[in-house]
Amino acid sequence: MPAAARKKPVKRRRSPIQSRGQATVDAIVEAAAQILARKGPAAATTNAVAARAGVSIGTLYQYFADREALLQEIGRRHVAEMQAVLADALTGIDGLALPAAVDRLVAAIVAMHRVAPRLHQALHQSLARDHLDTIDAFEVAVEAMVSQALAGRAELDLAHPALTATVLVRGLGGLIRTTLRREPERLDDPALALAMRAMILGTLGESRRRA
Amino acid sequence: MPAAARKKPVKRRRSPIQSRGQATVDAIVEAAAQILARKGPAAATTNAVAARAGVSIGTLYQYFADREALLQEIGRRHVAEMQAVLADALTGIDGLALPAAVDRLVAAIVAMHRVAPRLHQALHQSLARDHLDTIDAFEVAVEAMVSQALAGRAELDLAHPALTATVLVRGLGGLIRTTLRREPERLDDPALALAMRAMILGTLGESRRRA
DNA sequence: CGAGGATCTGAGCAAAGGCTCATTTTCTTT
DNA sequence: AAAGAAAATGAGCCTTTGCTCAGATCCTCG
C-alpha cells in the first residue's frame, strides 16, 4: 500500500447497501430536518444531528461528504414533497371553470407551503447564497407550469402569459412566506384566501391583451 | 480595588464622544455592510470587519457589545435609508389620479429595494430568526402607510383596505426580492413594471366592496 | 461457522471565530 | 504643560464545530 498522496482515504457518501444503512440515512436526514425546523440553521451542527439521529458522528460522514451535502439532501427531499403536494392539489384543474380553478390554485399553493413551513424557512436561510439551486429550480418549474396553464386558457387572452405567471407565482410565494414568518396562524384565515383570490383574478383581468 | 465579581469590567458600546470616535464607528459599520453585501453573512466576521475598517478588533468591541449589535446597527441604518427613499418617492402621491399614483408606487417600491439590494438580502438572511425586528417593524409600517393611503381613496371603495394593503405590500415585496435574487438585471425591465402595475390595479379592482 | 464486506463508533485534531484586557497612544482642558 | 479621559491596539484565550481515522461490531452468504 503506497502511502502516496491520498486526498480521500475513505470514499465518503457511500450508498447504503443493506436496509440498515438506508434506515440510518433516513434517521440522519430526519433528525437534521427537525433541528433545522425547530431551532434554525445555526443549531443544526453535524454533531447535534448525529446525536439526535442516534448515530455517531462518524456514521454521518459515512453517508454525507460534508454538512453541505446533508443540507442539500434535505432540500431535495423537501422540494420533492412540495412538488407532490402541489401536483396532487392541482389534478383536474384544467377542467374547472376559472373561478373554481383559481380557488384550487390558491389552496394548492397554500397547502404546498404548509408541508413544512419552518423547514422551508430554514432552508431558504441556510441554503441561500449557495445551494438554493434545488429550491430555485423548483420555483422555476412552478412558474413554467403556471405559465403553461395560463396560456392554455384562451378565455384569459393574456398578453404575456409567462410574465403574468412570474408575477403571480413570485408574488404569492412572497406573500405566503412573509405571512408564514410573521403571522403563521393567519394562513388559515379565510379572508386571506379571498384576498389572494382577488389578487389573482384581478391580475389576470388586468393582464389581458386589450385592457 | 475589590476584586469582587465583576461581570463587565469594561462598559462596552461606549458612545463616541470625540469626532474621531464617530468616524471610527462609521468606518466599522460601513466596512461591515460592504462585506455583508459582497460576500454574505458568513464572511462578515468581526475580525474581517475590523481589518477592512482599518481598526483593531479591540476598537470594534469598544463600540459594539457583540457581533449581533453590529448587525443590528447595520439593519437600523439600512431601514432608515429605505424609509427615506420611500418617503421621497412618495411625496405628493395623494394628489395624483389613480393610474399615475400606482405608477409612482411601483417606482417607489422598486427604488426602495434598489438602495442596497445585496445588503438587503444579506440582512434578511443573517438577521432572520433573531433580529428581523427592525426590518419587520419597517415592513409593518409600510403596510400601515399603504393601508392608510388606500382607505383615503373613496373611489376605490375597498372592502378591507388593510387586508388589501397587506396582500399588495407583501406580494410586491416578495416578487421584488425573488427577482432581485434570481434575475437582478430584470428589475429594470419596463415590462415587469407594467406587470406589477397590472397586478396592483387588478387587485384593487377586484377588492372593491361590491365586485 | 467463518470470512469479508458493510456499518458503526467516538476521542480528538485543526481551524475558525468571538471576544478580553493590559497597555499604549491621542486628545482635551485647564 | 500635564493630568486625565477617550480612543485604539493586538496577542491570544476559549469555545465551537466540521471532520478524520483506527478499530470494533454487525450481516450476509457460501
B159 burial (CB, 10 Å; 0-12 / 13-18 / 19+) is middle
**What is the reported pLDDT for B127?**
65
**What is the reported pLDDT for A127?**
65
Buried/exposed B49-69: b ≥16 CB within 10 Å, e otherwise: bbebbebeeebbbbbbeebee
**What is the reported pLDDT for A131?**
66
Rounded to whole angstroms, what are the CA distances from A25 to A20, A21, A82? 9, 6, 21
Mean pLDDT of B117-146: 85
Q: Which residue in B has a C-alpha nearest to residue A179's C-alpha?
A: B170
Architecture of B74-206 per CATH?
A: Orthogonal Bundle (1.10)
Q: Which residues of B touch A161 (CB under 8 A)?
A: none
User: A73-206 falls under which CATH superfamily?
Assistant: Tetracycline Repressor, domain 2 (1.10.357.10)
pLDDT tens for B54-105 read 999 999 999 999 999 999 999 999 999 999 999 999 999 989 999 999 999 9
Mean pLDDT of B21-42: 96
Q: Is the dihedral of CA A51, A52, A54, A59 positive or negative?
A: negative
Q: Give CB contacts under 8 A, 24+ apart, made by A180-189.
A: A180/A113, A180/A117, A180/A120, A180/A121, A181/A121, A181/B132, A182/B136, A184/A117, A187/A110, A187/A113, A187/A114
Q: Which stretches does DSSP call E strand in B70-182?
A: none
Eight-state DSSP code of residue B158:
B
B175 to A174: CB separation less than 8 angstroms, yes or no: yes
CA distance B145 to B128: 24
A54: part of which helix (H) or strand (E)? none
A43: part of which helix (H) or strand (E)? none
Q: Answer for the pair B150, B120: CB distance below 8 angstroms, yes or no.
A: no
CA distance A14 to A48: 21
Q: Which residues of A touch B163 (CB under 8 A)?
A: 191-192, 195
Q: What is the mean pLDDT of chain B?
A: 90
A175 to B171: CB separation less than 8 angstroms, yes or no: yes
CA distance A148 to A53: 42
Q: Answer for the pair B126, B36: CB distance below 8 angstroms, yes or no.
A: yes
Residues A184, A185, A186: CA angle, nearest 5 degrees: 90
Buried/exposed B138-156: b ≥16 CB within 10 Å, e otherwise: bbeebbeebbebbeeeeeb
Query: pLDDT means per 10 residues in chain A (211 residues)?
Result: 35 74 96 96 96 98 95 95 94 92 94 94 75 86 94 94 97 95 93 97 94 60
B204 to A202: CB separation less than 8 angstroms, yes or no: yes
Mean pLDDT of B135-164: 94
Nearest CB partner across the interface for A202, out of B163, B174, B203: B203
CA distance B123 to B78: 9
A206 burial (CB, 10 Å; 0-12 / 13-18 / 19+) is buried
Given the C-alpha cell 393582464, which residue does it identify?
A207
A180: part of which helix (H) or strand (E)? helix A161-182
Pick the CATH number of B11-65 from 3.20.20.140, 1.10.10.10, 1.10.10.60, 3.40.50.300: 1.10.10.60
Nearest CB partner across the interface for B170, out of A121, A136, A175: A175
CA distance B195 to B197: 5
**What is the reported pLDDT for A13?**
72
**What is the reported pLDDT for B186?**
96
The nucleotide whose C1' lies nearest the CA of A17 is C6
What residues in chain B have their Cβ under 8 A from chain A's Cβ atoms? 40, 42, 121, 125, 128-129, 132, 136, 139, 160, 163-164, 166-168, 170-175, 177-179, 181-182, 191-192, 195-196, 198-199, 201-207, 211
Domain ranges of chain A: 9-65, 73-206
CB atoms within 10 A of CB A54: 11
Q: Answer for the pair A184, A117: CB distance below 8 angstroms, yes or no.
A: yes
Eight-state DSSP code of residue A158:
B
How many percent of chain B have pLDDT more than 70?
91
Question: SS3 for B56?
Answer: coil
Q: How far is A63 from chain B (nearest CA, A)?
A: 26
Architecture of A9-65 per CATH?
A: Orthogonal Bundle (1.10)
Rounded to whole angstroms, what are the CA distances from A176 to A86, A106, A193, B166? 15, 11, 10, 11
Q: Answer for the pair A71, A54: CB distance below 8 angstroms, yes or no.
A: no
What's the pLDDT band for B130 if we cut at 50, 70, 90? low
